[in-house]
Amino acid sequence: MNKTDRQLAIMLELQRNNVIRAEDLAARFETSVRTIYRDIQALSEMGIPILATPGHGYSLMEGYFLPPVAFSAEEAVSLLMGTDFIEQRLDGDYATIAKAARRKIEAILTQPVQKESTRIRETMKLLHLSEPVTGVREKDYLGQVRRAILEQRKIRITYQKKATDSKSKREIAPYGLALVQGHWTLIAYCELRQDVRHFRLSRMMELSILDQHFAIPHEFSLSQYRPKDDRNVCVLVRADLDMLNVILESTSFYLEEIEERKEYLLIHFRVWTPEELLHHILSWGGKVEVLEPESVRFRIREEAEKILKYY
């Protein structure tokens, strides 16, 4: 980052923070404290009203606002593609907001930057070919859940864990949302299980927001939260060497280890249930063989016999 860009960035940090120390600015921009002192002095000489409080740090004079900042073409593309993603994946409220934000961003771009950003965007596109589309009902539930989280209100849902499972009614305290492999997933405290659980919005049959409020535990942080990995079923597969990329692309979440032998691969998977791998293994045909456990070999053989009846 050159001196001019760094000084502009320092002004933005001053506007974003009430008070910020020179040491924090130096760490933020990976430079020395002495350089920050020189930058602050240069900004002051340009007429920026920066206040220095000994022992605390720097701040902008109250009531002072920076003029609008111009975007580069690359920055504009980043923001505009972000609005594309939000429009595709979030609920109707945010889709409308994303469209409005896109219009505002495009309106403040200079003509050369607008033309260049349009040219760049025409070379890139957000596709979700291997991921499920966020359906209308799911987007509706997403909006309701999002509001329940912000208002810290419990919700009642009818939930179907898998297509073959019976439905169950749950009362849960919603903590946060995550987009996992194309599925919006709610992280919530389940009163039935007395623990934090995950619920796909696409598997919710009914949803209602309750009047009852809750408090998110102080120790819970969505950004730091990691689900328990309780996949206890190990599956060992032998595969042809040319299957490596296919297997990596489709089952990377379940992969534990790959042993490369001279003529084949030994691949270790860890799953919750064998059914999670079943359709993948069948799609790989004769290029793979399940070695263990025997129960999975039996399931593959059983499915193969069913298929054979039709051919």
Q: pLDDT per residue over 124-155, tens digit each?
A: 877 765 566 677 888 889 999 999 999 999 99
Place of tokens 């979440």: 253
Q: ∠109-110-116 over CA atoms, to 5°? A: 85
Question: pLDDT tens for residues 157-177?
Answer: 999 877 667 889 999 999 999
- Of 1-5, 68-72, 177-181, least confident by mean pLDDT is 68-72
**Residues 104-129, mean pLDDT to the nearest whole number:** 81
Pick the residue with more confidence: 134 or 209? Answer: 209
**Per-residue pLDDT, 40:** 92
Q: By mean pLDDT, which of 5-19, 140-154, 184-198, 229-243 is the weakest?
A: 5-19
Q: How far apart are CA 149 and CA 34, in angstroms?
A: 44
Omega before residue 274 within 30° of 0, cis: no
In DSSP terms, 179 is beta-bridged to: 184
Distance in angstroms (rounded) separating the CA atoms of residues 236 and 297: 10
Identify the CA nearest to 13 among candidates 47, 48, 45: 48
pTM for this structure?
A: 0.60
Structure tokens at 105: 């961003």
Beta bridge partners of 171: 156
Residues 6 or more apart whose Cβ sits within 8 Å of residue 233: 270, 271, 272, 273, 274, 293
Q: Is pLDDT of 23 > 80?
A: yes
Q: Per-residue confidence at 109, pLDDT binned at 50, 70, 90?
A: confident
The answer to whether 131 touches 182, Cβ cutoff 8 Å, is yes
Mean pLDDT of 17-28: 90
Task: Say which residue the tokens 């690359």 belong to.
Answer: 74
Which own/partner contact pairs does 90-95 have at CB distance under 8 Å and 24+ positions apart?
A: 90/139, 90/142, 91/139, 91/140, 91/142, 91/143, 91/146, 92/139, 92/140, 92/143, 93/143, 94/143, 95/139
What six digits make up the tokens of 95?
């889709």
Contact 141, 207 (CB under 8 A): yes
pLDDT band of 297, cuts 50, 70, 90:
very high
Taking only the tens place, the pLDDT of each residue in 61-87 is 887 766 666 788 888 888 888 888 888
Q: What are phi and psi of 118, to 5 degrees?
A: -65, -40
Q: What is the pLDDT of residue 35?
A: 94
Residue 4 is classified by DSSP as H
Q: What is the pLDDT of residue 149?
A: 94
With the C-alpha atoms ordered 45, 47, 48, 49, is the resulting torsion angle positive or negative?
Answer: positive
